[in-house]
Amino acid sequence: PAEAARLRPDELQLSLNAARAAVDVGAHEEAIYRLNRLAECAAITDEQVAAVLAQTVVKAGKSKPSDTHQQSSNQRLLLKVRSLLQLYCSLEKNTLDHWNNALYFERACGTKAEVLVCLEGRLAAIRLSSGWRVEAQKLAELSEAAAQLVEARLEAEAVTHKEMLETAATVDALLHAASEHLGATEACEELRMLKTRLARHIDDEY
């Protein structure tokens, strides 16, 4: 498939097949090159291949190789996968799978600030779905995402008053919308608790 894609770069499916084949044989940088090209030139993404690449980097990070060449190779791959995940999230901000992949990756390999960006993006993607306003299970997923964002915000360094107020406003808006049909659910009560916790934190810290 890789050779076919080189001969016929205009055939997008061939390029995508080449990227998938490259991952299958461990040619990760080749796969990333092709995935970047597809995303940048044709806005085509593949969250499943991206997930495999993220898992590869996380696994490599846990192995802690003593070989300096392998360490350098792992670090290079880490940066390239991070760049690909960020590209996917920027191209398709509303696609939850992209944010889940990025969050998984950054929780294992990134900083608190990078995790926070992913949590914000994930919550925004969930929020765009209307299902959480009327379905208890989907509201529970949104409430959990909001709780994780609030926790990360509270643990972050040098958080400004404005940032905390923005987070509090987001939780308040979610609670208001959820209360219309699902006010008696456990998830809605969790949003109320988040609102109270944020209000107390803002009063105490600012």
Report whether pLDDT(198) > 80: yes
156 and 178 in one domain?
Answer: yes
Quote the crossing angle between the two packed helices 136-155 and 186-205, to the nearest 10°.
Answer: 20
Q: What is the mean pLDDT of residues 3-14?
A: 63
Angstrom distances, CA of residue 31 to CA of 27, 92, 98: 6, 20, 17
98 and 173 in one domain?
Answer: no
pLDDT at 6: 53
**64 — pLDDT class (breaks 50, 70, 90):** confident
What percentage of residues in the chain have a pLDDT greater than 90? 80
32 and 116 in one domain?
Answer: no
118 and 101 in one domain?
Answer: no
> What is the total count of domains within the chain?
2
pLDDT (tens digit, 9 = 90+) per residue, 89-132?
A: 999 999 999 999 999 999 999 999 999 999 999 999 999 988 99
Q: What is the mean pLDDT of residues 133-144?
A: 97
Report whether pLDDT(11) > 80: no
Out of 54, 76, 110, a domain closes at 110
77 and 116 in one domain?
Answer: no
Q: Would the pTM of this model clear 0.85, i.e. be above it?
A: yes
Contact call for residues 36 and 20 (beta carbons, < 8 A):
no
73 and 119 in one domain?
Answer: no
- What's the domain range around 163? 112-206
Q: Quick one: which H or E segment has residue 27?
A: none
DSSP secondary structure letter of residue 133: G
**9 — pLDDT class (breaks 50, 70, 90):** low
Question: d(Cα 126, Cα 100) in Å, to the nearest integer?
Answer: 11
- What's the mean per-residue pLDDT of the chain? 92
138 and 55 in one domain?
Answer: no
Amino acid letter for position 139: L
**66 — pLDDT class (breaks 50, 70, 90):** confident
DSSP secondary structure letter of residue 132: G
Report whether pLDDT(146) > 80: yes
